[in-house]
Chains A and B, each alone.
Chain A
Protein backbone atom coordinates (compact mmCIF):
# COMPACT_ATOMS: atom_id res chain seq x y z
CA UNK A 1 0.00 0.00 0.00
CA UNK A 2 1.71 3.18 -1.19
CA UNK A 3 -1.28 5.44 -0.81
CA UNK A 4 -1.95 8.59 1.10
CA UNK A 5 -5.71 9.00 1.40
CA UNK A 6 -7.32 12.38 1.93
CA UNK A 7 -10.95 13.13 2.77
CA UNK A 8 -13.05 14.84 1.70
CA UNK A 9 -12.08 15.38 -1.94
CA UNK A 10 -14.07 18.61 -2.11
CA UNK A 11 -15.25 20.95 0.65
CA UNK A 12 -17.23 24.16 0.54
CA UNK A 13 -17.42 26.07 3.81
CA UNK A 14 -18.59 29.44 5.04
CA UNK A 15 -16.32 31.88 6.81
CA UNK A 16 -17.93 31.10 10.19
CA UNK A 17 -17.81 27.31 9.83
CA UNK A 18 -15.48 24.84 11.50
CA UNK A 19 -14.38 21.88 9.43
CA UNK A 20 -11.56 19.33 9.36
CA UNK A 21 -9.47 17.77 6.62
CA UNK A 22 -8.26 14.23 7.16
CA UNK A 23 -5.23 12.35 5.89
CA UNK A 24 -4.31 8.71 6.42
CA UNK A 25 -1.37 6.51 5.43
CA UNK A 26 -0.56 2.91 6.24
CA UNK A 27 3.01 2.79 4.99
CA UNK A 28 4.52 3.12 8.46
CA UNK A 29 5.80 6.57 7.60
CA UNK A 30 6.80 8.70 10.57
CA UNK A 31 6.81 12.12 8.87
CA UNK A 32 3.64 13.76 7.58
CA UNK A 33 3.10 17.11 5.89
CA UNK A 34 0.42 19.61 4.94
CA UNK A 35 0.86 21.67 1.80
CA UNK A 36 -1.33 24.38 0.28
CA UNK A 37 -1.51 24.79 -3.49
CA UNK A 38 -3.11 27.75 -5.21
CA UNK A 39 -4.12 27.51 -8.88
CA UNK A 40 -1.18 27.37 -11.29
CA UNK A 41 1.34 27.55 -8.43
CA UNK A 42 3.61 24.97 -6.79
CA UNK A 43 2.69 23.52 -3.40
CA UNK A 44 3.72 25.54 -0.36
CA UNK A 45 4.65 23.78 2.87
CA UNK A 46 2.45 24.55 5.87
CA UNK A 47 3.29 22.03 8.59
CA UNK A 48 5.57 19.05 9.23
CA UNK A 49 4.95 16.36 11.83
CA UNK A 50 7.88 14.19 12.77
CA UNK A 51 7.20 11.13 14.96
CA UNK A 52 3.79 12.62 15.79
CA UNK A 53 5.25 15.91 17.00
CA UNK A 54 4.91 19.21 15.20
CA UNK A 55 8.41 20.06 13.97
CA UNK A 56 7.78 22.80 11.42
CA UNK A 57 5.11 25.51 11.21
CA UNK A 58 5.75 27.77 8.25
CA UNK A 59 4.18 30.80 9.94
CA UNK A 60 0.70 29.58 9.13
CA UNK A 61 -2.23 31.64 10.53
CA UNK A 62 -3.85 30.18 13.64
CA UNK A 63 -7.13 29.63 11.80
CA UNK A 64 -5.36 26.49 10.52
CA UNK A 65 -4.71 24.01 13.32
CA UNK A 66 -2.95 20.71 12.62
CA UNK A 67 -3.28 17.59 14.70
CA UNK A 68 -1.57 14.20 14.56
CA UNK A 69 -3.62 11.74 16.67
CA UNK A 70 -1.35 8.80 15.81
CA UNK A 71 1.36 7.81 13.39
CA UNK A 72 -1.12 7.02 10.58
CA UNK A 73 -3.42 10.03 10.81
CA UNK A 74 -3.06 13.73 10.21
CA UNK A 75 -5.84 16.29 10.53
CA UNK A 76 -6.11 19.94 9.61
CA UNK A 77 -8.75 21.82 11.57
CA UNK A 78 -10.17 24.89 9.88
CA UNK A 79 -11.95 27.78 11.59
CA UNK A 80 -12.93 31.27 10.48
CA UNK A 81 -11.26 30.96 7.10
CA UNK A 82 -11.16 33.67 4.47
CA UNK A 83 -12.04 33.36 0.77
CA UNK A 84 -8.33 33.67 -0.07
CA UNK A 85 -7.76 30.40 1.81
CA UNK A 86 -9.54 28.59 -1.03
CA UNK A 87 -6.99 26.19 -2.50
CA UNK A 88 -6.01 22.54 -2.94
CA UNK A 89 -4.71 21.16 0.37
CA UNK A 90 -2.27 18.31 -0.05
CA UNK A 91 -1.11 15.84 2.55
CA UNK A 92 2.16 13.97 2.12
CA UNK A 93 4.22 11.46 4.06
CA UNK A 94 7.74 10.10 4.05
CA UNK A 95 9.43 7.24 5.85
CA UNK A 96 11.04 9.68 8.23
CA UNK A 97 11.96 13.39 8.06
CA UNK A 98 15.40 12.59 6.64
CA UNK A 99 14.08 10.26 3.92
CA UNK A 100 14.15 11.88 0.52
CA UNK A 101 10.96 10.46 -0.94
CA UNK A 102 7.59 12.05 -0.14
CA UNK A 103 4.27 10.53 -1.25
CA UNK A 104 1.32 12.85 -1.82
CA UNK A 105 -2.41 12.35 -1.47
CA UNK A 106 -4.94 13.46 -4.07
CA UNK A 107 -5.76 16.58 -2.13
CA UNK A 108 -8.85 18.30 -0.78
CA UNK A 109 -10.15 21.15 -2.91
CA UNK A 110 -11.41 23.74 -0.45
CA UNK A 111 -13.69 26.62 -1.36
CA UNK A 112 -14.43 29.27 1.26
CA UNK A 113 -17.56 31.30 0.58
Chain B
Protein backbone atom coordinates (compact mmCIF):
# COMPACT_ATOMS: atom_id res chain seq x y z
CA UNK B 1 0.00 0.00 0.00
CA UNK B 2 0.91 3.69 0.06
CA UNK B 3 2.12 5.29 3.28
CA UNK B 4 4.32 8.04 4.70
CA UNK B 5 6.40 7.76 7.86
CA UNK B 6 7.78 10.81 9.63
CA UNK B 7 10.05 11.13 12.60
CA UNK B 8 8.32 11.55 15.93
CA UNK B 9 8.28 15.02 17.40
CA UNK B 10 8.47 17.39 18.95
CA UNK B 11 11.78 18.59 17.60
CA UNK B 12 13.20 21.38 19.75
CA UNK B 13 16.03 23.52 18.38
CA UNK B 14 17.73 26.78 19.18
CA UNK B 15 17.53 29.62 16.68
CA UNK B 16 20.06 29.29 13.82
CA UNK B 17 20.44 25.53 14.34
CA UNK B 18 20.35 23.06 11.44
CA UNK B 19 17.06 21.26 10.89
CA UNK B 20 16.40 17.79 9.51
CA UNK B 21 12.98 16.17 9.62
CA UNK B 22 13.04 12.64 8.23
CA UNK B 23 10.36 11.33 5.90
CA UNK B 24 10.22 7.96 4.15
CA UNK B 25 7.49 6.62 1.96
CA UNK B 26 6.05 3.43 0.54
CA UNK B 27 4.27 3.72 -2.78
CA UNK B 28 3.45 1.93 -5.98
CA UNK B 29 4.61 3.73 -9.08
CA UNK B 30 6.20 7.14 -8.93
CA UNK B 31 4.30 9.45 -6.58
CA UNK B 32 4.75 13.18 -6.21
CA UNK B 33 6.07 14.22 -2.81
CA UNK B 34 5.28 17.29 -0.71
CA UNK B 35 6.03 19.08 2.50
CA UNK B 36 3.19 21.09 4.01
CA UNK B 37 3.49 23.39 7.03
CA UNK B 38 0.74 24.21 9.51
CA UNK B 39 1.17 27.18 11.83
CA UNK B 40 -0.85 27.22 15.07
CA UNK B 41 -4.57 27.68 14.45
CA UNK B 42 -4.20 27.76 10.67
CA UNK B 43 -4.67 25.59 7.61
CA UNK B 44 -1.95 23.86 5.63
CA UNK B 45 0.46 25.71 3.37
CA UNK B 46 2.40 23.98 0.64
CA UNK B 47 6.07 24.42 1.51
CA UNK B 48 7.74 22.55 -1.34
CA UNK B 49 7.27 19.67 -3.73
CA UNK B 50 9.12 17.25 -6.01
CA UNK B 51 7.51 15.27 -8.78
CA UNK B 52 10.24 12.86 -9.88
CA UNK B 53 13.35 11.13 -8.64
CA UNK B 54 16.35 13.39 -7.87
CA UNK B 55 14.19 16.53 -8.01
CA UNK B 56 14.99 19.02 -5.28
CA UNK B 57 12.17 21.15 -3.94
CA UNK B 58 13.08 24.38 -2.17
CA UNK B 59 11.30 27.35 -0.63
CA UNK B 60 12.02 29.89 2.15
CA UNK B 61 15.37 28.23 2.92
CA UNK B 62 13.86 24.76 3.22
CA UNK B 63 14.97 21.96 0.88
CA UNK B 64 14.09 18.34 0.25
CA UNK B 65 15.37 15.90 -2.38
CA UNK B 66 13.30 13.05 -3.83
CA UNK B 67 15.46 9.96 -3.27
CA UNK B 68 13.99 6.94 -5.02
CA UNK B 69 16.75 4.57 -3.95
CA UNK B 70 16.10 5.23 -0.26
CA UNK B 71 12.39 6.16 -0.70
CA UNK B 72 13.01 9.31 1.30
CA UNK B 73 12.17 13.02 1.16
CA UNK B 74 13.88 14.54 4.19
CA UNK B 75 13.26 18.22 4.98
CA UNK B 76 16.29 20.39 5.78
CA UNK B 77 17.00 23.99 6.64
CA UNK B 78 20.41 25.42 7.39
CA UNK B 79 19.39 27.97 10.01
CA UNK B 80 15.97 27.90 11.64
CA UNK B 81 14.14 30.89 13.05
CA UNK B 82 11.59 31.17 15.85
CA UNK B 83 8.98 31.87 13.17
CA UNK B 84 9.56 28.38 11.71
CA UNK B 85 7.86 26.84 14.75
CA UNK B 86 4.97 24.85 13.31
CA UNK B 87 3.86 21.33 12.43
CA UNK B 88 5.37 19.90 9.26
CA UNK B 89 3.59 17.22 7.24
CA UNK B 90 5.23 15.06 4.60
CA UNK B 91 2.78 13.80 1.99
CA UNK B 92 2.64 11.80 -1.21
CA UNK B 93 0.12 11.95 -3.97
CA UNK B 94 -1.00 8.65 -5.35
CA UNK B 95 -0.80 8.52 -9.12
CA UNK B 96 -3.70 6.17 -9.57
CA UNK B 97 -7.31 6.98 -10.30
CA UNK B 98 -7.90 8.53 -6.88
CA UNK B 99 -4.93 10.98 -6.88
CA UNK B 100 -5.32 11.00 -3.12
CA UNK B 101 -2.92 12.88 -0.82
CA UNK B 102 -1.47 10.56 1.82
CA UNK B 103 -0.09 12.44 4.85
CA UNK B 104 2.46 11.46 7.43
CA UNK B 105 1.59 11.93 11.08
CA UNK B 106 3.25 15.37 11.27
CA UNK B 107 6.30 16.59 13.17
CA UNK B 108 6.05 19.53 15.53
CA UNK B 109 9.05 21.88 15.43
CA UNK B 110 9.70 24.28 18.30
CA UNK B 111 12.47 26.83 17.82
CA UNK B 112 13.66 28.64 20.94
CA UNK B 113 15.29 32.11 20.81
A residues adjacent to B (C-beta < 8 A): 4, 6, 40-43, 45, 48, 56, 88, 90, 92, 97-98, 100-107, 109
- Contact size range, B: 20 to 34
User: Is B44 a contact of A43 with CB atoms below 8 Å?
Assistant: yes
22 contacts between A and B (CB under 8 A): A40-B106, A41-B106, A42-B89, A42-B105, A42-B106, A43-B44, A43-B89, A45-B100, A45-B101, A90-B43, A90-B44, A92-B44, A97-B99, A98-B99, A100-B49, A101-B46, A102-B101, A103-B46, A104-B36, A104-B44, A107-B42, A109-B41
- List the B side residues contacting A48 at CB < 8 Å: 98, 100
Q: Contact mask B70-113 → A, CB, 8 Å, 1/0? A: 00000000000000000001000100001111011110000000
- List the B side residues contacting A90 at CB < 8 Å: 43-44
User: Is B45 a contact of A101 with CB atoms below 8 Å?
Assistant: no
Q: Contact mask B36-55 → A, CB, 8 Å, 1/0? A: 10000111111001010000
- List the A side residues contacting B34 at CB < 8 Å: 100-101
Closest Cβ of chain B: how far from A25's Cβ, in Å? 13
12 other A-B residue contacts (CB within 8 Å) besides A97-B99, A104-B43, A107-B42:
A41-B105, A42-B103, A42-B106, A43-B89, A43-B103, A45-B100, A88-B43, A100-B34, A101-B49, A102-B101, A103-B46, A107-B43
User: Is A106 a contact of B42 with CB atoms below 8 Å?
Assistant: yes
B residues adjacent to A (C-beta < 8 A): 32, 34, 36, 41-46, 49, 51, 89, 93, 98-101, 103-106
A45 to B98, CA, bound (A): 11
A98 to B42, CA, bound (A): 26
Closest Cβ of chain B: how far from A103's Cβ, in Å? 7
- Contacts known (A42-B105, A100-B93, A101-B49); A56 close to B100, Cβ less than 8 A: yes
- List the B side residues contacting A100 at CB < 8 Å: 32, 34, 49, 51, 93
